[in-house]
Structure 1
Amino acid sequence: MVQQLDGPTEVTNFISDLNNKYEKVHKAFEDNFWATKMNLQGCSSEALARTKTDYDSFLADPVNLKAVKEQLQRGDLSEEQRKVLCVLERTFGCYITEDPAAAALKARLNEAEAALAEARNTMQLGYSDPESGAFTTASSVQLRNLMRVAEGEATRRSAYEGLRSIGPFVSEKFLGIIKDRNKLARLLGFEDFYDYKVTAAEGFGKARLFEILDDLEAKTRPIMEAARQRLAKEKGAAALEPHNISQALAGDTTKATDPYFPFEDAVDVWGRTFAGLGISYKGSVMTLDLCDRRGKYSNGFCHWPQPAWRKADGGWVPAHANFTSLASPDQLGSGKTALETLLHEGGHAAHFANVDQHSPFFSQERAPTSVAYAENQSMFLDSLAGDGAWLGRYAVSRQGEVMLWSVVQQMVEDTHPYEVFQQMVEDTHPYQVFQ
């Protein structure tokens, strides 16, 4: 049955006009975002900054918010029209910048952020061989993996130092960006940029978020301290050193499980897993960039140059999702890394592919979409790669052997007591950066 947008025709036309305008600026920005993050030929940080400013300007235009509010005053709106208009109002309200100084500062920030991203992407990163002193180029992903699986402590330390070099490289420009972000937020009436972003996405401010995190941190800290003591007792005090802890936690487990996660099977396993769960993509197109390479953005993500939505006449516009992982097929553990990223980012893609509403404003991951809401499904789906029942069905070697239960048991026993470490990182990081 065709789901048309019922209600007064002039209101439907108004909504359709805003939908089309939004779709245009959204797509222009996202196409440039993907090109620069993937370091595609012909990409331009200037074009990224320009289209991001166009996007921001559309969302921040007070004329759009005023027009939506005027439509909401009508007494003859259909229920569906009112729902769409309320989301438009909420979205425009998150970005409104009536102060010309704030708008100019936003544009300057877009240029600075694009320039810093380009500098980081072209940074020479790597580590020095402890024996020969020869420098080996390696991405941040490869350095983290080396810290996890390298046998020699000197190699792990060198990889760690290579990874740490990113901080000093970006710090000066990044600190300037933080200052301007906070200045922007204060112009908009917020305590700082973090307070602004939290309020826009979650509907409550930084103070309330930190109240929640305070409680979580207090209850988690004793578990974390006990886990540290346990690790030191099992592996020695040196295991707590930053260059050693990844290997102490996952080195043996990665070696034991690696044969059951062939890199070349990752896409197939992802597809069969989602099919078994009844997850579909509602006609979406997906562009995948799976392997790590020089100049590519060093974190997995999923973005949508084309949001899914239903037009006023009932026509369906399927999503186009771009997502990426950072596998190095020749490195130990690469197959599991690729699969976990596919499960996570593919979960995001499935989520927003199935948002069936009469506006693309519903099916985008920026504010007012809650970060917690957006991550909930994806984090559940990537956790399947550590679930015993899932492993017994989908973790299969190139020889067709299912992961042994003894290996599953080893993985759980070796990793579960220490999952608290990552939880503490997520709990305490906002304090360290934004207080």
Structure 2
Amino acid sequence: MISALVRLVKFALFTGKAEPPPLANRRTRVTAPRWLAPFTTLDGVRLADLTLALFLFGTAATDLWVRLDERNMEPPGALVLNTAFLALSLPVALRDRWPLGAWRTALVTMPAYVYVDRMIDGFPEQGVTYTWPLVLTYLLVLYTVASRNSEAVSIVAWVVSMLFLGVVNANVLPIGGAVFAVPLVLGYNVRARRGASAKLAEESQLKVVAEGAQAVLEERARIARELHDVVAHHMSVIAIQAEAVPLKAAGDARQLEEGLAVIRSLSLDAIAQLRQVLGVLRDADGRKETTPQPDLERIDALVANARAAGLAVLFRRSPQVEEVSQAVGLSAYRIVQESLSNVMRHAPGATVSLEVARERDELVVRVANGPGAGPAESSAGAGHGLVGMRERAVLLGGTLEAGPIADGFEVVARLPLEAA
């Protein structure tokens, strides 16, 4: 413990450096006039300290010279007199840039000022007269030390100040202790408040970063849903067409050519939708894809693709659903797309009933299918489609119910028309 105390005193008196000035000081910087080139800015705090230092220097010099002239005394040596002048100005000028250096300078030079002051008065028995420039200078330096150093360094500064005061004039130790404590306590409070503000700013920054990361994750999930809907639907249709076309053509070149043309059209449509989803990610300039997203109008194309893949789709759409928001239209389109893709995979050749209607303030999408006419695909890796459809409905404040019915499966989505 003694070694730690020795290191602390050594840090305060000889080797230590204070914390840098707070960033808030940048707000006080002002543009310097051209004749001060190469300096381009002036720190308002340091400019105020320099002005105060010059004022204290002039005040001390005037006071000492007037008193010397009144007593017809020869001025003391130039070194002592200059040291006395600098004791009241140099610490103030240095306190913002080098707080501990300014305090050490005050400890060294202020005894010279006290000596000259007492010598002019003939070393009176009543002791030292503490002038207001002397008190102001030392209190400012103590405040800066406390506001830019740890509590331990501030305590060392208070103890050393009390020791110096005891050597100069032990009669004022109680009053001096209280006076020295005031700037130290104020500086400690300022440093604590500054630290709390910095921590709060750091936490706010971390919150912004976390919110940004959350937004990235949400965007990745949205893109994953879009890719799943696009790829699952089109690849299912293309796979079924590629298997059915040769069987349907039975060697007829014309029918084979027509079937391949349908597959090519489906492939180009899939590529176009993938480009639409990923366009903004490939754009180096940050421009967004301007191609409109799918909506209710494009459900007819989904129905045509499903019929071409062998499904018997009965589609009914009420006329009241033409005017819906883009978010509702896109979600309804993706739900129909995923539902038809599931029917192609799990009940190929089935009869499907598709209905898009408006019920009060909701858009209702119903997709029901009967038993399939052929073998179903393997269910390995399945289940993500229903999760994606349910997420789309929930994001709009709606609901989605999916489950088996008599000889088939049904999906019912209810999407509020006023969804955000």
* TM-score class normalised by the smaller sequence: under 0.3
Larger radius of gyration: 2
Question: What TM-score do you get using the length of structure 2 for normalisation?
Answer: 0.18
Which structure's relative contact order is higher, taking Cα pairs within 8 Å and 6+ residues apart? 1
